[in-house]
Amino acid sequence: MSDKLSRRDFLKLAGVGAASTAVLTGCGPASRSVKREPYMQMPEYTYNGLSTYYATTCRECAAGCGLVVRTSQGRAIKTEGNANNPLNLGKTCARGQATLHGLYNPDRVTDPIKRTRGNASGDIVTWENATQIVADALKNNKPEEIAFLMGMAPDHLFDLVADLANSTGINAPVRFGALNMFESRATLSKAAENLFGEAGLPFFDVGGAQVVFSFGANFLETWLSPVSYTRGFAGLREGQTKKRGTFVQFESRMSSTAGKADEWMPLRPGTEALVALAIGRLASELRGGSMPRAFADVDPLEAASKSGIKLETLEHLAEMFANSTGALAIPGGTALGQSNGLAVAEAVLALNAIADNFGKPGGVFFSALAPNQTEYQRSASVKEMQEFVQQMADGKFKVLFVHGLNPIFELPASLDFKNALKNVEQVISFATFPDETALESDYVFPDHHGLESWGYQRVATGSAQPVLSGAQPVVSPFYNTRATADVLIAAAQLASGKFAEALPFQDEVEFLQSKISPLMSEADGFFSAADIDTFAAYFQQYGGWWKLSDGRAVPNSADVLNRSLSSAEAEFAGEGEFFFVPFVSPTLAEAGANKPWLQELPDPTTTVMWNTWVEINPVTAEELGLKDDDVVTITSEAGVLEVPVYRYPAIRPDTIAIPFGQGHTAYGRYATALDENGKIIKRGVNPTDLLGQHFNEAGDLAFAGMKVNIKKTGKKQLLSRLESIMGVYGVGLGEEK
Amino acid sequence: MIKPEEIKMSTDESGKWGMVIDQDICTGCQACVAACAMENNISFVGEADSGYGRSMHWIRIERFWEGEYPEVKMTPNQPMMCQQCGSATCEPVCPAFATIHSQAEQLNLQVYNRCIGTRYCANNCPYQVRSFNWRDYERPEPLPNQFNPDVTVRRRGVMEKCTFCIQRIHKAQDKAKSEGREVLDGEFTTACAQACPASAITFGRVDDPESLVSQLAHRGHGVKHLEELGTLPNVTYFKGG
Amino acid sequence: MAGYNNNAVHKKVESAHPKAESHHHDEEHFREKHLMLDPLPRGQMNDMVMESMTTTSWKFWAVFGLLSVIVAVCLFYVWGYMISEGLGVTGKNRPSYWGLFLVNTVFWIGISHAGTFISAILRVFKAEFRRPFTRAAELMTTFGLVQAGFSVFMHLGRVWLFYWLLPYPNQRMLWPNLHSPLSWDLLAITTYLLSSTMYLFLPLIPDLAMARDKSTGWRKTFYKTLALGFRGTEGEWTHLRNAMNIFAFAIIPVMFSVHTIVSWDFAAATRPGWNSTIFGPYFVVGALHSGMGAVVMVLAVVRGTMKNMKYFIRPEHFDAIGKLMLIISMAWAYFFFNDYMVQWYGGDKWTKQLLHFHEAGPMGWMWFAMLIANIAIPWAVLWNPKWRSTPWIVFVVGLIINFGMYLERYIIVPVSLSINRMPFTWRLYYPRVEVLLGIGTLAFFIWLYMAASRLIPLIPVWEVEEGQMAHELKKFGRETVVSVSELE
């Protein structure tokens, strides 16, 4: 190898290497009726001691990373990233690695069951009965009384339900996920619409930038597409072939993303827009010329005093931003989840106009639209979910189908989904795991685990190329589960009439092929084929289909700086003393809590495992007389939580933070805990219990817009940490202050 | 059969396999930890034991704090795993020859079925990267279906540690041998390096000056931890910045 | 012969001699003070020893029964539980991979040192005061080593494979690793156990022969078997003396080596605080410190609870051992200071951190308690001849020293393990079932001792008689002096 080899070159090389060594098989599980066989009669594509590799798509979050799963004797052994997939280029996050603990989770729903709501046990029904029940539900109710609630991933099942809904008049399926709430996608899209005249999810080319200012965007954790953004971050920091890029994070609590920043700006929550505009004004002054209208009204001195960032610091940041050849500003996360979230998004996006980076390497783009991606597939904001829940509560829906999300856990408790569910006559869940919502359903008709399933998933953002990640079963279904698509198709046939016409397919695979066949005629594909069988085989073998060309659109930035932007501060709900920052646990996220190895992964910032904590600045803790592991009561206008304290050195003294991911009352043995009497109790707490119903202008929940109170309870609960409290904090070494 | 005189302790050789870890781009995301656990059939131990210093992680990501609010900084994330020392302090102290030096691969081997659990090696490891099976940690059915058939499952009373995914090394070597060639640089890598979304971990032959890992290792300001003890570690860290 | 006590002896002594003379007064003073100058007829002494073995009160059986229960539960049941559950039921963790079991091992090996020290070194140097309690001390050696062995095996993660530590021929040509200090340890402890058991047995033979001649029933068979047909001929005595001499000299280096090697388990490691060249002698002296403390405790208990023992074990013995304890305490203080000073002055940051942790960490009280128990209290009390001749006072001092030495080992093993070169892993150790197992070994030690006190003469009568034959009082002018003749 040559001396000039860079890391990027190596990545490409490694990608080719992995692709050529791991023989991706396209034919094995193509047989449609996959079933479990004893080892005596192994399928012919399985050999003793030889591994087979299948490309599929990770279903742990909605990003849609490609996976290559190693299987041996019909068992899935290990997931790796699919090096061909342009989104993740062979990489995975921790959740993608632990997906096997979902597949082989001891607490999966093994059979279709009928239950009395809230009752953990249920009666097993046959799949014939189950299909009949679904068919009856479709046929015997008016279309407007039938609702589908689905997970965040824009996948084939959503398309199938959308087809069904469109041609039969059923309510359009609604997509939601807790990550959607914490990412504030609607706000980003709305801000883009206001500034660029076109809605869409922006894409930030972190890897090509030289200076990155991130306002609350936790893009190294769960935000939008963490694997792809992490790769971008590595590109930013690469210092061999170019100058090492600088990264500044503005947020009140140091997230693990901020932990990687060169400078962390703990601004006062709610002042993000003000600070962004002030930096814009100072940078424009440095650049000379006339002051853009966008920044004209802001007073940097006021911004400094309100945000708690010194004026000199603001000037230094502005200089850094103005003088860089590749400056990039990213709005996201908690900064958008406030009452002024839309203003923050606009102000931060407008900063990019100074750097004039739109459509340029290291700049802002519109995400490449995946094949067949339309506005229809946009997931719902919490505001829309509020309306949905209201309709449920009003008894508008007779039947509710739930697939791919756990609304009782993922929606803020103040929406009271659980109570609204009581006004729905029939709730049918397709949950793979016995989650809280499945527990409150009349029927659970379990879908396969993602690794046992067919499908595809649109890649909404993160890749320069338009990507449709393909999924195929890598193992035979382990339990008596059935693909929800197959259940719906069969039920539609049973229901006959318009339902049968809407889904005229033999099975899921035929439906999939009907959906991907238009891609055969698309130009510039990664592969193409003349007939659908070959095309489908390639689709399986490579784990999807993508274009070779850049599909990102350039935002129209002509008018950005000429608009007047609001520098208003956020308003905070509640009477409390502390700003409250809920954040998504990077290792657990919304659905990881039932995977034991994810529970055992230390949190990147606190190294806590298996539980929830509240982060409090040590100075504040001392004022309140709190030590580590002291349980405190946190009260907001919407709820109360009891949670142990972690004295976190990198959080504003007026702010506290709680991770989201734990607090399950169901969802299997690893997501819950047992008390002394062996009764199932919550493991950790769910911070969404504290969230009231306050929204920003784009309809996203102002989840970071609450103020809360803290009270000591006198109880202790030992948090399991990987770190040494002695070695890291000097506690108990005789040097404690 | 191995003759007794062939069993040697660590030598001063330069090593064969090595790693370079770029702490500047490590985001601490734990993907390597999860990948390692999945690849190597590592037990999870539950809340109580993991909080008592008994977690079985073969690789852990260390981070410290510098300064105080608001000038507080998180130190660069530091993944710690077995450094595969050229002169390993764990090796001579095992009375049962359960941890020995591989002459062929220049790695510290842990022979699980020879280990009787004196835990001397773990005490003597300056990097504290060895994990002991304090119990038979329960992995209820059907979780064991996921086990990697290339990696032994350990029972209670046995020490374990990072192996540099020796099963992958052997697999690649067998394949290369059957094809009559040498193992190519980048042909395979360890589970942690393969998963790392930031590509902060690079694995390869450190005795091959042409390999990527060698070139990265000789880039300049690399650090080998506790090198002053004479352990000849094979992992080079770049703090960056 | 009926009950015996010191007063009775003195009365007899008085009646045997004309009274009210200053010469007699001197002599009486000497006799009262020194066992060697206070001879009784041999038959009478033999009877006294036999009686001490066979007279057993209900209190003995109550204590013995209680100990049996403790041994059964704390030692065997808990150990079985630990084997089946794994070492997770103990309090060990990363980084304290070693815990109470190795503390106990070092402690028991330390206890075992006093036996050899007293019976071999004092024998070689012909310290006459040793005579009545060499046996009691040797028993401690053997029984202490048994507990040390138990503790070492408890420590193993897979104890059922302990034989892999032994160099036995096998098909795979696997051999234990002789580079490992643990292998040295095993060899050293085994050697020590075997040699000290033999060294216990040799001087026992004449007493067993005596017991054989004086007993009936199963005891007769028992002693007959063990006495190996010893009749007391000139040839037999010569052989016995030669064998004992050889053993006495040979076992001294074994004794020094065994604790030195135990110390190498720590000193040979690359850990801050452990990697110290002075650990060898420091451990040997520490072992003697706790061992002497244990000997006086045993002697005080034997004297206080067993019949006729006040004749054999007198304040003069506590006085003599008390002096030794004082000297050893000083030696220990010297080594402690030496170790601390050099480590601290060396300036290695991890070592300094560890030393600071010893003093100011959460276990800091141990460090101070150790210094008080091992140095301050022995020095304050044992200077005083009156105090160190008072059995209960010396008993309490011995107890305190053992407590202090236990803390010393605790500080060296788990407390030092808490701190290493990877601050991210520092963690405290909280013992769990180890405590029960530790209590179990202590109970088993006492149990063995109690059982032995019913079966073998705790007083080496022949040695006492030999000493008494060699001692006599001579008068030079107004001075009465003790004269000792060379017997061998």
Q: What is the DSSP string of chain B?
A: ---GGG---------SEEEEEETTT-----HHHHHHHHHTTPPP-HHHHHTTT----SSEEE--EES-TTS-EEPPPEEE-----TT-SHHHH-TTS-EEE-TTT--EEE-GGG-----HHHHH-TT---EE--S-----TTGGGG--TTSPPP-TT-EE---SSHHHHHHHHHHHHHTTSPPPTTSS--HHHHH-TT--EEEEETT-TTSHHHHHHTTSS-B-TTGGGT---SEEEE---
Helix (H, G, I), strand (E, B) or coil at A707: strand
List all chains that touch chain A, counting a touch as 3 or more CB pairs closer than 8 Å. Answer: B, C
Domain containing C136 equals 34-484
Largest Cα–Cα separation, chain A: 80
- The pLDDT tens digits for A184-216 are 999 999 999 999 999 999 999 999 999 999 999
Task: Determine, yes or no, domain membership for C310.
Answer: yes
**């008018």: which residue's tokens?**
A559
Domain of A304 in residue numbering reads as: 181-367
Model pLDDT for residues B172-196, shown as the tens digit of each residue: 999 999 999 999 999 999 999 999 9
Lowest mean pLDDT segment, chosen from A24-38, A450-464, A667-681, B74-88: A24-38
Architecture of B4-238 per CATH?
2-Layer Sandwich (3.30)
Taking the C-alpha atoms of residue B44 and residue A599, their distance in angstroms, rounded to an integer, is 9
Q: Is the pLDDT of residue A15 over 60?
A: no
Residues in chain C with CB shorter than 8 Å from the CB of A734 are 356-357, 359-361, 364
Please tell me the predicted confidence (pLDDT) of residue C484: 77
State how far Cα A423 lies from the chain centre. 29
Averaged pLDDT score across all residues of chain C = 89
DSSP H or E segment with residue A70:
strand A66-72
pLDDT tens digit string along A303-320?
999 999 999 999 999 999
Nearest to B24 among A75, A237, A617 (CB): A237
pLDDT at A700: 93
Q: Does C454 touch chain A (CB under 8 A)?
A: no
Q: Label residue A172 by pLDDT band (50, 70, 90).
A: very high
Q: What is the arithmetic mean of pLDDT over B86-98? A: 93
Question: What value does the mean pLDDT take over residues A671-687?
Answer: 93
Quick check: C349 contacting A, CB < 8 Å?
A: no
Q: In chain B, which residues have their Cβ closer than 8 Å to the Cβ of A597?
A: 34, 37-38, 44
Answer yes or no: is pLDDT of A76 > 70. yes
Q: What is the mean pLDDT of chain A?
A: 90
Distances (CA, A) of C251 to A237, A497, B27, C206, C325: 67, 101, 61, 21, 21
Chain B residues within an 8 Å CB radius of C98: 119, 123
Mean pLDDT along residues B235-241: 85
Q: Given an 8 Å threshold on Cβ–Cβ distance, is C270 in contact with B89?
A: yes
> Which position has the higher pLDDT, C486 or A725?
A725
Q: A340 to chain B nearest CA, in Å?
A: 25
Test A609 with B47 for CB contact under 8 angstroms.
yes
Average pLDDT, integer, range B1-11: 51
Burial class (CB in 10 A: 0-12, 13-18, 19+), A141: middle
Nearest to C177 among B95, B123, B226 (CB): B95
Q: Which of A24, A1, A5, A21 is nearest to A537 (CA)?
A: A24
Give the distance from CA A31 to its chain's centroid. Answer: 32
Residue C191 belongs to some domain of the structure:
yes
Mean pLDDT of C337-349: 91
Residues 6 or more apart in contact with residue A451 via CB below 8 angstroms: A56, A69, A76, A99, A100, A103, A473, A474, A475
pLDDT above 70: residue A21? no
pLDDT of residue C292: 93
Say if residues A478 and A452 touch (Cβ distance below 8 Å): yes
Tell me which chain A residues have a C-beta less than 8 angstroms from the C-beta of C416: none
Could you tell me which chain B residue has the CA closest to the CA of C176?
A: B96
CA distance B47 to A143: 48
Q: What is the pLDDT of residue B31?
A: 96
What integer pLDDT is reported at residue B5 of this predicted model? 56
Question: In this model, does residue A123 exceed pLDDT 50?
Answer: yes
- Closest approach of chain A CAs to the CA of C412, in angstroms? 17
The answer to whether residues A606 and A615 touch, using CB atoms and an 8 Å cutoff, is: yes
Q: How much helix, strand and coil, in percent to the nearest 5, is found in chain C?
A: 75, 0, 20
Please tell me the predicted confidence (pLDDT) of residue C19.
45
pLDDT in tens, B58-67: 999 999 999 9
The answer to whether residues A597 and A101 touch, using CB atoms and an 8 Å cutoff, is yes
Residue whose C-alpha is closest to residue A472's, from A61, A47, A71: A71
pLDDT mean over A269-294? 93
| Contact call for A724 and C425, based on CB within 8 A | yes
Q: Supply the pTM of this predicted model.
A: 0.91
The domain that holds C423 is classified in CATH as 1.20.1630.10
Strands A655-660 and A578-584: parallel
Q: Residue A532 in contact with residue A513, Cβ under 8 Å?
A: yes
Nearest to C136 by CA among C228, C217, C51, C203: C203
* CATH number for position A254: 3.40.228.10
When divided into structural domains, chain A yields a total of: 2
Domain regions of chain B by residue span:
4-238
CB pair distance less than 8 Å for A609 and B55: yes
Percentage with pLDDT > 70 across chain C: 94
Comparing CB atoms, the residue among A722, A727, A732 nearest residue C423 is A727
Alpha helices, H only, C427-478: 433-455, 461-470
Residues from chain B contacting residue A262 (CB–CB below 8 Å): 241
Which structure tokens are listed for C74? Answer: 């704390």
Q: How far is A100 from chain C (nearest CA, A)?
A: 27
Q: Does B52 contact C174 at a Cβ distance shorter than 8 Å? A: no
pLDDT at A72: 85
Has residue C15 got a pLDDT over 70? Answer: no
Determine the 3-state secondary structure of A30 from DSSP: helix
What's the pLDDT at A359? 93
Identify the three-state secondary structure at position C368: helix
Of residues A652 and A289, more confidently modeled: A652
Give the pLDDT confidence score for residue C4 in this predicted structure: 43
Nearest residue, CB atoms, C157 vs list B64, B116, B226: B116
CB atoms within 10 A of CB C7: 9
So what's the pLDDT on residue A592?
93
What confidence tens digit (pLDDT) does each residue in A359-368 have?
Answer: 999 999 999 9
Residue C424 has pLDDT above 80, yes or no: yes
| DSSP reduced 3-state for A197 | coil
- Please answer whether residues C151 and C143 qualify as being in contact, where contact means their C-beta atoms are separated by less than 8 angstroms: no
Q: How much is the pLDDT for C8? A: 41
B128/C420 Cβ within 8 A: yes
Distances (CA, A) of A215 to A211, A251, A300, A337: 13, 6, 17, 11
Mean pLDDT of A271-295: 93
Q: Tens digit of pLDDT for each residue in A404-416?
A: 999 999 999 999 9
DSSP state of A455: E
User: Hey, what are A658's tokens?
Assistant: 């709680």
C-alpha distance from C423 to closest chain A C-alpha (Å): 4
Q: Closest CB to C364: pick one of A723, A724, A734.
A: A734
CB contacts, 8 Å: B39 with chain A = 78
> What is the count of structural domains for chain C?
1
Residue C440, amino acid? G
For the stretch C83-119, pLDDT in tens is 999 999 999 999 999 999 999 999 999 999 888 888 8
Mean local confidence (pLDDT), C436-444: 96
Count of beta carbons in the 10 Å neighbourhood of residue B4: 8
Model confidence pLDDT, tens digit, residues A479-507:
999 999 999 999 999 998 999 999 999 99
- The helix (run of H) or strand (run of E) holding residue C230 is none
Say if CB A205 and CB A313 are below 8 A apart. Answer: no
Quick one: CA dihedral A460, A462, A465, A471, positive or negative? negative
Residue A570: per-residue pLDDT:
93
> What φ, ψ does residue C337 adopt, rounded to 5°?
-65, -45
Give the residue carrying structure tokens 């004309």. Answer: C18
Asked whether residue A279 is domain-assigned, the answer is yes
Query: Hey, is the C-beta of B133 within 8 angstroms of any chain C C-beta?
Result: yes
pLDDT at A1 over 70: no
Determine the average pLDDT of the residues in C197-206. 93
What does the pLDDT read at residue C36?
A: 84
Reduce the DSSP state of residue A616 to 3 states and report it.
Answer: strand
Among chain B residues, the shortest Cα distance to A72 is held by B149
Using CB atoms, pick whichever of A18, A233, A600 lies closest to residue B50: A600
Distance between CA atoms of B119 and C156, rounded to whole angstroms? 8
Instruction: Return the bridge partners of A712, or none.
Output: A632
φ/ψ of residue B239, rounded to 5: -75, -30
What does the pLDDT read at residue A240? 80
In this prediction, residues C209-216 reach a mean pLDDT of 92
The enclosing domain of A670 has a CATH number of 2.40.40.20
Interface probe for A, chosen from C93, C354, C422, C426 (most Cβ of A below 10 Å), is C426
Lowest mean pLDDT among A595-609, B5-19, C283-297, C329-343: B5-19
Are B184 and A17 in contact (CB < 8 Å)?
yes
Q: Give A404-449 pLDDT, tens digit per residue.
A: 999 999 999 999 999 999 999 999 999 999 999 999 999 999 999 9
CB pair distance less than 8 Å for C177 and B119: no
C357 touches chain A (CB under 8 A): yes
Asked whether residue A8 is domain-assigned, the answer is no
Mean pLDDT for the stretch of residues A569-595 = 93
Tens-digit pLDDT profile for residues A638-655: 999 999 999 999 999 999
Q: Quick one: DSSP state of residue C424? A: G
Report the alpha-carbon angle A579-A700-A58, nearest 5: 105
Q: Which residues of C touch A602 (CB under 8 A)?
A: none
With beta carbons under 8 A apart, name residues in chain A contacting C428.
Answer: 726, 732
Each as own residue / partner, the long-range contacts of residues C377-380 (CB below 8 Å, 24 or more positions apart, any chain) are C377/C401, C377/C404, C378/C325, C378/C326, C378/C329, C379/C326, C379/C329, C379/C330
Chain B to chain C Cβ contacts (< 8 Å): 144
Tens-digit pLDDT profile for residues C17-40: 444 455 666 777 777 788 888 888
List the 11-40 stretch of B: residues with Cβ below 8 A of C: none
Q: Could you give the 3-state DSSP secondary structure of residue A378? A: coil
